[in-house]
């Protein structure tokens, strides 16, 4: 299912196997831009090079954002490892700089939250970095509340901001 925006040429769609290389490039580019390299960051996750395969399991979805047929962003959700079954995690929502500030984050976030709710999750958790101010504002604007400590077992111990929100039943 494709979701088009008001901007011509913008599309949010499910990841395809052919998107793996460009998605890995986007994740590594953005993580490096924000100096999120080294131990405890998602840049080291084994799934980075096969996001299509990693999110092809039940209860998981991953999307790419295309502008004029060029993939410039991504994000998705999956069950939160080490937590209750009704909690999912928003994962790897990253955009190249040319896509930021266009409202695409809101569109992709809404898509992920709606699909997570449809998949039966009751809460959505996320981790981000303290200096990703634009992302933190986006999450707060959409009902995410700050936590004092992390949930689950993501392996991302270098992220210092943890947030959660209740999902609206489908």
Q: For 62-120, what is each residue's pLDDT tens digit?
A: 999 999 999 999 999 999 998 999 999 999 999 999 998 889 999 999 999 999 999 99
Residue scoring higher pLDDT (131 or 54)? 54
Q: Count of CB atoms within 10 A of residue 53's CB?
A: 12
Mean pLDDT along residues 122-151: 92
Position 41 confidence tier, pLDDT thresholds 50, 70, 90: low
8 Å CB contact between 165 and 143: yes
What pLDDT was estimated at residue 157?
A: 65
Whether the pLDDT of residue 125 is over 50: the answer is yes
Tell me which of 4-18, 22-36, 63-77 is least confident.
Answer: 4-18
Residue 159 half-sphere exposure toward CB, CA atoms < 13 A: 25
Q: Count of CB atoms within 10 A of residue 149's CB?
A: 5
What pLDDT was estimated at residue 63?
A: 98
8 Å CB contact between 28 and 48: yes
For all residues of the chain together, what is the average pLDDT?
89
What pLDDT was estimated at residue 40?
A: 64
CA distance 38 to 21: 21
Residue scoring higher pLDDT (26 or 41)? 26
Please report the domains of the chain, with CATH numbers, ordered by start residue. Answer: 3-166 (3.40.630.30)
Give whole-number Cα distances, 21 to 10, 54, 57, 113, 129, in Å.
20, 14, 20, 25, 24
């Amino acid at each position: 299912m494709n979701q088009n925006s008001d901007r011509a040429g913008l599309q949010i769609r499910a990841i395809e196997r052919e998107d793996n290389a460009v998605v890995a490039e986007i994740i590594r580019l953005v993580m490096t831009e924000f100096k999120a390299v080294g131990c405890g960051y998602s840049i080291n996750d084994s799934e980075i090079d096969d996001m299509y395969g990693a999110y092809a399991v039940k209860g998981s979805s991953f999307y790419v954002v295309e502008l004029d047929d060029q993939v410039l962003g991504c994000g998705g959700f999956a069950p939160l490892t080490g937590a209750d079954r009704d909690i999912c995690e928003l994962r790897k929502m990253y955009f190249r700089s040319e896509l930021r500030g266009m409202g695409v984050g809101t569109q992709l976030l809404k898509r992920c939250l709606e699909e997570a709710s449809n998949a039966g999750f009751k809460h959505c958790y996320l981790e981000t970095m303290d200096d990703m101010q634009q992302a933190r504002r986006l999450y707060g604007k959409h009902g995410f509340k700050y936590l004092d400590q992390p949930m689950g077992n993501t392996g991302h111990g270098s992220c210092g901001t943890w947030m959660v929100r209740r999902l609206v039943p489908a």
